[in-house]
């Protein structure tokens, strides 16, 4: 599993963290680790994780971990229930020491190296688990943990193909399925051909 990691203590000055230096160091430390090692790092604390692999400040070239962050135990439990209902494997979860912030970590089966697909996967998870609160799962967000409580040990990885049924089911929760479907495609720049979403290479199509 690939993830960007760094220790917070190396970038603290006068008790505050230098985010610019931390982000640069994390981008350099795109490491291969297993889930047990990640669990140990989180359990130990004093770490920072950035899910997306950035080769510069603007270009994400890979991502495998998707971290869902939410406030309060009730919302956290709702995410766990949805993952269980849809059989979406959770890698692990942890909270801040005071239980104000909860984070659910999902690990894709392999590194997704296409930024467009990464964005679609993030928005699928946000729609399924958070009802479109897109501020809670990002490629470039730095998730810091200094005092954590490990809540769930590794269960397994997920695949983006597992998200299609839950996504379609979410379109039926509120309003028109067709309207929600088309809105999601428009937001994610997914081409609709005869009302059907088309993702992938379309070089076979004649120029318009």
- Torsion, Cα 132 133 137 139, to 10 degrees, reads 80
Which residues lie below 8 Å from residue 40, measured CB to CB, with a gap of 6+? Answer: none
Q: What average pLDDT does the segment 202-206 reach?
A: 48
pLDDT tens digits for range 75-120:
899 999 999 999 999 988 888 777 888 889 999 999 999 999 999 9
The span from the CA of 114 to the CA of 157, in Å, is 19
Residue whose pair of structure tokens reads 């982000």 in the numeric block: 23
Query: Which residue from 64, 138, 68, 50 is spatially nearest to 108, judged by alpha carbons?
Result: 64
pLDDT tens digits for range 122-163:
999 999 998 766 556 778 888 876 666 767 666 789 999 999
Contact of 148 with 92, CB cutoff 8 Å: no
Provide the whole-model pTM: 0.85
Beta bridge partners of 52: 63
């Amino acid at each position: 599993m690939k993830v960007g990691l760094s220790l917070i203590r190396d970038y603290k000055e006068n008790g505050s963290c230098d985010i610019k230096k931390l982000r640069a160091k994390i981008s350099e430390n795109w490491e291969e680790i297993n889930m047990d090692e990640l669990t140990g790092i989180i359990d130990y604390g004093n770490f920072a994780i950035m899910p997306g692999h950035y080769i510069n400040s603007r270009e994400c070239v890979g991502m495998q971990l998707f971290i869902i962050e939410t406030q309060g135990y009730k919302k956290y439990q709702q995410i766990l229930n949805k993952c269980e209902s849809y059989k979406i494997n959770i890698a692990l979860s942890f909270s801040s020491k005071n239980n104000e912030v909860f984070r659910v970590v999902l690990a894709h089966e392999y590194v997704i190296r296409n930024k467009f697909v990464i964005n679609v996967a993030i928005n699928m998870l946000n729609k399924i688990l958070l009802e479109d609160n897109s501020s809670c799962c990002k490629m470039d967000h730095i998730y810091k943990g200094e005092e954590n409580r490990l809540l769930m040990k590794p269960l397994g990885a997920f695949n983006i193909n597992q998200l299609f049924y839950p996504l379609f089911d979410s379109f039926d929760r509120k309003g028109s399925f067709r309207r929600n479907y088309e809105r999601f495609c428009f937001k994610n720049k997914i081409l609709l051909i005869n009302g059907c979403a088309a993702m992938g290479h379309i070089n076979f199509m004649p120029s318009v």
